[in-house]
Amino acid sequence: MLTFFKNLSLSRTAWLFLAFVAFVLEATGLYFQHGMGLQPCVMCVYERLAIFGLVIAGLLGAIAPRFAFFRWIALALWGFSAIKGLLLAIKHTDYQLNPSPWNQCEFKPDFPQTMPFDQWFPSIFAPGPVNCSQSQWEMLGWGMPQWLILAFGLFSLFFVLVLISQFKKSRPQYRSVFR
């Protein structure tokens, strides 16, 4: 199994698939915002940025997956984005399932001054006047943060499998006409 994941990490197609799946999630969030008129909260914006990190990780890995430098940078970004997104989605779910005056998110995103994403890309990263404890959408009884726990959990699981597989030694493939 580890050999399978090691070979996947060496293929450009797998990295592009990671970028594509994350891009579909990002596009779905933007459709909810601009197509359906649902305003994102601050936690939604943070989760959206984590998904964007997965898109970038997939594209970085696709540049040159056989070169360890690009692969390890992409793996680091993939792991950070997936795990940080999972923690954000869990916290967002806590805000929705346990609403209280002392368990609320900020009103404004707390991006570093050197990277004010909400000012650079307001149509993507600027939150609306929505409290994080409000649930605006549900499918099969789950809200958006609960679905994101599933998505980020899967991204994290596959990251761990691919990370462990990087330490597996690859055997050279000798081709012999006599075997």
In tens, the pLDDT along 57-80 reads: 999 988 887 887 888 899 999 999
Q: DSSP 3-state assignment of 143?
A: strand
Query: Does 171 qualify as catalytic in the annotation?
Result: no
Q: Is 66 a catalytic residue?
A: no
**pLDDT given for residue 116 in this prediction:** 76
Inter-helix orientation angle 42-63/68-97, to 10°: 160
pLDDT at res. 92:
85
Q: Which residue in the list 12, 48, 66, 179 is annotated as catalytic?
A: 48
Q: Of 132, 171, 175, 179, which is the active-site residue?
A: 132
Instruction: Give the pLDDT band (50/70/90) at residue 170.
Output: low
Tell me the CB-side half-sphere exposure of residue 24, using CA atoms within 13 A: 6
The long-range contacts involving 6-9, CB below 8 angstroms and separated by at least 24 positions, are 6/162, 6/165, 6/166, 6/168, 6/170, 8/162, 8/165, 9/61, 9/65, 9/71, 9/75, 9/162, 9/165, 9/166
Q: What is the mean pLDDT of residues 79-99?
A: 90
Over the range 88-102, which residues count as b (16 or more CB within 10 Å of their CB) and which as e? bbebbbebbeeeeee
CATH entry 1.20.1550.10 includes domain 1-110+120-131+141-167: yes
> Active site includes 12?
no
**pLDDT for the residue 6:** 74
pTM: 0.82
Report, in angstroms and rounded to the nearest whole number, the Rg of the chain calculated over CA atoms: 19
- Please provide the average confidence, as pLDDT, over all residues in the chain: 83
Model pLDDT, residue 120: 80
The string of pLDDT tens digits covering residues 33-58 is 888 888 888 888 889 999 999 999 99
